[in-house]
């Protein structure tokens, strides 16, 4: 694996945008404070920026796959305006009851990204706000796992209070 193929994996709700619950409309999509600077730093350091997000609102019928694709396009385009390029976005539309292999805490989205982008997982990083993000990343052998939370987690390699606390 090439050192060039390392990723900064990002959860969406709570990391990229403020998690106000099943966000699927542009007017509800608010970027988390400190995100742009953080993403530019890692992008400039050669990391591929890859989003891995559970979107059970689709499976629950709260919004459609088309609604999700539209908000994703909006997010990617807004980040491009800041010279930030998201390499790929992986999502799981299933509910926890579906027992799929892609929904975090399972590692399906990470494994798909690794295969699609030939990623070096040992030199990759996951930033998430839930224990399930850390469990999925650890299972996918992502070496650095940063939990943005006030809770502790044995599966995280680091716990910080906000994106601004990430070095």
Write out the catalytic residue numbers: 11, 13
What residues pair up with 7 in beta bridges, in sequence order?
Answer: 48
DSSP 129-144: SSHHHHHHHHHTT-SE
Any idea what the Cα angle at residue 76 is, between residues 74 and 79, rounded to 5°? 105
Question: CA Rg, the chain, in Å?
Answer: 15
Concatenating the DSSP letter of every residue in 92-130 gives E---GGG--SSSTTS-HHHHHHHHHHT--GGG-EEEESS
Closest CA to 146 of 16, 84, 161: 161
Instruction: Provide the edge-to-edge strand list for the sheet that holds 158-160.
Output: 86-92, 48-54, 7-10, 125-128, 144-148, 158-160
């Amino acid at each position: 694996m090439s050192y060039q193929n390392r990723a900064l994996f990002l959860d969406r709700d709570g990391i990229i945008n403020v998690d106000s619950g099943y966000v699927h409309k542009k007017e509800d999509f608010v970027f988390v404070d400190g995100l742009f600077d953080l993403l530019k730093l890692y992008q400039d350091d050669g990391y591929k920026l890859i989003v891995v997000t559970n979107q059970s609102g689709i499976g629950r019928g709260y919004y459609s796959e088309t609604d999700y694709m539209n908000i994703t396009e909006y997010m990617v385009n807004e980040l491009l305006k800041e010279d930030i390029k998201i390499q790929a976005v992986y999502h799981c539309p299933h509910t926890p009851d579906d027992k799929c292999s892609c929904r975090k805490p399972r590692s399906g989205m990470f494994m798909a990204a690794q295969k699609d982008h030939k990623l070096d997982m040992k030199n990759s990083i996951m930033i998430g706000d839930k224990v399930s993000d850390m469990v999925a990343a650890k299972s996918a052998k992502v070496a650095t796992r940063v939990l943005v939370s006030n809770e502790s987690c044995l599966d995280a390699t680091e716990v910080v209070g906000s994106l601004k606390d990430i070095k």
